[in-house]
Structures are given as C-alpha cells and as structure tokens.
Amino acid sequence: MKRIYLLASALTLVFASCQKSSEESVEDSMLASQETLEIAKEQCGTMGVLDEKIAENPDLVAKMAAVEEHTQKALSNGWTKRLAADGKIEIPIVFHVLYKDASENIPLSQLQDQVAALNEDFSMNNPGRNTIPSEFTQVEANIGVRFVLEDVIRVKTKKRQWRPDDSMKFTSSDGSDVVNPQEFLNIWVVSNMPYRGGNILGYAQFPGGSWATDGVVMDHRFTGTTQYSTGRTATHEVGHWLNLRHIWGDGGCGATDFVADTPDSDAASRGCPTYPTVNCGTADMTMNFMDYSDDPCLNMFTEGQKSRMLSVFANGGFRATMAD
C-alpha cells in the first residue's frame, strides 16, 4: 500500500505530458508520407512542462492544492460512492483536428474508434482484461464514465510541429479555441510534437488549470486505431485529465500516486512485461492504464483510481458541472 501524502506531494505533478523518445529524428518528409515511424519507449516530460506552467502562472500551485484538498475530503466523506450510485457520467468530446497535410486530417472513423476505445477502458470492457492476474482482478474497476462524440472541428494550419505549450488551443496561434470546457472534454489532435529530443504522443491538463487550455492533446498517429496505436494513449491522458497520476508516482519506491490499491513500484514499465515483475517488494501492476506498457498490455483501472477520478465530479469538484 502506498503512503498517502497530502498537499505537498499533490503539487509535484500539475500537467501530464507523456513522451516517447525517437531512435531517429522524424523528418517532415516522413510525416507527410506516413512512412514507418520508429518510436522507442515512453518517457515523461512532466516536470519540464510543470516548471514552464508554474513559471507562467505561479497561482497554479495554490489551485492544484485546492483540488487535492477537495479530492481527499471527497474520498474520506464517501461523496464518490453516492455519485457513482446515481448512474454513469456522460462526457461529450469535442475533437479539434489541426492539420497541414491531408494525411493529418484524420477521418471521422478514426475519431469514432478513439471514443470506442475510451468507452471500453472506462467501462471494464477492455479486450485484454481476461489476461489480468487474479491478484489484481479483485480491485479492477468499472469507472462508470461514458464518452460520446459531440463535435469535430477541423482547422487547416500552417504548422507541422507543435510544442506542448498549449499554442494549439488558440486560434490566435493558428490553433483552435477551447469549446465550453466545463461541459465538454476538448481533445486537440495535432501533427508531430517534438520535445526534448523525442516525440510527445499526448499530454493532458490536470484539474485546476485554466479553462482556456483545459483538455488533452494527441498526436494524430496515436489517436484511435492506427499502425501505431489501439487508442490507449488517450485513455492514459484522460486519466490524467481526471486527476490520476502515473502508477509509479514519478519516483522510486515509496513515491505515491495517491491511490492505495496500486502496488508500489520504482519506475515505468516497458514493453509487455511478464507477470510477476517485482519491484519494491510487490508485483507491479504493469497492465494499469497509468503505466507505460505497450497498448495491447494496458487493460485496467482500480477501485482506488475510480474513487479519485469520480471525486472531481462530486459536489464542489473541479468537473462537477459534467455530472449535473
């Protein structure tokens, strides 16, 4: 069981930006022609993005502290249990597809595939869940959240590359403005996102940030079903958007993800690990959506993660208006 720290640890991760490094740089010509993209395993640019965001807006620290304080209060008072008893929460998604070339203007079917993958993962219908070890099936959770496709906004831009600086979220910087973020999950689908020598596949804004930038950003090649993806990158990023941390707590043994039923671990998983993979004296939950295993090997959320996510919809929570 992880140690649960309150506000001080809550401030260690404000924005999630999950990054996979390239073995070779990806040239514009490769992007345009959709040739084979060589992707090494995922690494997280979280702390760099965190530093940038806090430098831009120091008030974000206090806002994140308030969100975490409400989360702990909701959990201790059982507010999430009452919320879950009311039925499923439906979250409409607005996709912003930003493209320079036709290959980046992904079809509606690909976006529909992404919504279907999210619904599988958040309703305990993931196709690989029959491989979950019995040790973990007892805490596997149906989150009770359903996603629907609300709208698709397509914007032809002049940019082929985007930094994770939220510029894609504003028409003034050749992007697309957020749409009603207190009611809709906004997902920006963009082209290549180089960052720190790698290629970011997606990043999310945690509860507590500005409504003007609230949502998830995805590389178009890792949105829905593609040669690179089965849609689990979005599941991971939406988990962050709903206030989940990486399962290993972004630290060594003893670091916390604020969830009691996810085993302690010392680092992210790679590939498709064989069970049991033991670190910190327990078997790693390598199949958890908030780890870094390959898409086909990510299959579950836990009851603790469910409670943490539902707390943002509880009365007074950052996303409470979505549960009305």
Q: Please write the tens of the pLDDT for every residue from 270-324.
A: 899 999 999 999 999 999 999 989 899 999 999 999 999 999 999 999 999 998 7
Q: Which range, of 37-41, 98-102, 312-316, averages the lowest pLDDT?
A: 37-41
Over residues 74-93, the mean pLDDT reads 75
Over residues 18-28, the mean pLDDT reads 42
The CA-atom distances, in angstroms, between 24 and each of 101, 186, 194, 199 are 22, 31, 12, 10
Over residues 213-217, the mean pLDDT reads 95
Q: Does 12 map to a domain?
A: no
Which has more pLDDT, 42 or 270? 270
CB atoms within 10 A of CB 308: 25
> At CA 288, angle to CA 106 and CA 24, rounded to 5?
50
The answer to whether residue 31 scores a pLDDT higher than 60 is: no
The answer to whether residue 85 scores a pLDDT higher than 90 is: no
Over residues 158-165, the mean pLDDT reads 93
Over residues 123-130, the mean pLDDT reads 96
Who contacts 107 (Cβ-Cβ below 8 Å, separation ≥6)? none
State which of 36-40, 159-163, 172-176 shows the largest mean pLDDT: 172-176
Name the pLDDT band for 199 (thresholds 50, 70, 90): confident
Q: How many CA atoms lie within 13 A of 70 on its CB side?
A: 21
**Residue 135 annotated to the active site:** no
The predicted pLDDT at position 126 comes to: 97
The predicted pLDDT at position 77 comes to: 86
The predicted pLDDT at position 86 comes to: 53
The predicted pLDDT at position 147 comes to: 95
Longest Cα–Cα distance in the chain: 55
Our count of domains for the chain comes to 1
Distance CA 185, CA 90 (A): 10
The answer to whether residue 28 scores a pLDDT higher than 50 is: no
The predicted pLDDT at position 156 comes to: 98
Q: Does 319 map to a domain?
A: no
Per the residue annotation, which of 104, 120, 140, 237 is the catalytic one?
237
Decide: helix, strand or coil at residue 232. Answer: helix
Which has more pLDDT, 204 or 23? 204
Q: What is the mean pLDDT of the chain?
A: 85
Distance CA 228, CA 77 (A): 42
Q: Does 170 map to a domain?
A: yes
The predicted pLDDT at position 241 comes to: 96
Q: Does 9 map to a domain?
A: no
Q: Does 275 map to a domain?
A: yes
- Please answer whether residues 262 and 288 qualify as being in contact, where contact means their C-beta atoms are separated by less than 8 angstroms: yes
The answer to whether residue 168 scores a pLDDT higher than 50 is: yes
The predicted pLDDT at position 87 comes to: 62
The predicted pLDDT at position 196 comes to: 77
Find the Cα–Cα–Cα–Cα dihedral 213, 90, 46, 197, rounded to 10°. Answer: -80
The predicted pLDDT at position 193 comes to: 87
Q: Which range, of 12-21, 86-95, 136-145, averages the lowest pLDDT?
A: 12-21
Q: Does 61 map to a domain?
A: yes
The pLDDT tens digits of the residues spanning 183-196 come to 999 999 999 888 77
The predicted pLDDT at position 50 comes to: 65
- Please answer whether residues 18 and 233 qualify as being in contact, where contact means their C-beta atoms are separated by less than 8 angstroms: yes
The predicted pLDDT at position 67 comes to: 80
Over residues 200-223, the mean pLDDT reads 93
Block residue for tokens 């993958």: 117
CATH value at residue 275: 3.40.390.10
Show the domain range for 74: 45-312
The answer to whether residue 128 scores a pLDDT higher than 80 is: yes
The answer to whether residue 146 scores a pLDDT higher than 60 is: yes
